[in-house]
Amino acid sequence: MIWTAPSVKRTQDLGGLGIVTELQMLEGWLNWHRETLQAKCAGLEPAQLARTTVEPSDLTLLGLIRHMAEVERWWFRRSFASEGIGGVFTGPSDSNEGLDGVHAADAERDFAFFQAEVKACDAAAAGHDLDETFMSSYGVPLSLRWVYMLMIQEYARHNGHADFLRERTDGATGD
């Protein structure tokens, strides 16, 4: 049997985010966007996830999964938490934060890595105040709040890309 990207059950009711703390709101929106990206991939086989569908772009759904794992890792773990870990999908052959170097044969592994990275990033931010700061690689102080906002916009932008990629793959549409 061929592996397919797992289905996703939404854990966040967006309507409930209107009257919660700022941290709960940011976490809720980030989780909703994480789940949206996974939902755009749900049920697709590795070859479908790795296929380019919006020419002339070489963007793929699997590339987006890899990219978001890499970006989360960079901001939450490497930058904010100062964990001494390297990149996973970024190397000499991929300077584009996981978007390049996509192989269908790695789809199941890449999805598992994405899901593990999300948990690790949540753990890196847990118990910290949104006003806690760190020094960026550009020498600019940034806050944990800034990281949450950056990640929400990064997912929102790429989820728009994922909409087009999924529709061109099998015609599926949705939020």
Lowest mean pLDDT among 17-21, 119-123, 143-147: 17-21
pTM of the predicted protein model: 0.93
pLDDT at 95: 59
- Per-residue pLDDT band for 18 (boundaries 50, 70, 90) equals confident
Residue 79 near residue 137 (C-beta atoms within 8 A): yes
Q: Mean pLDDT across the stretch 98-114?
A: 93
pLDDT beyond 80 at 92: no
pLDDT at 126: 97
pLDDT beyond 90 at 14: no
pLDDT at 48: 97
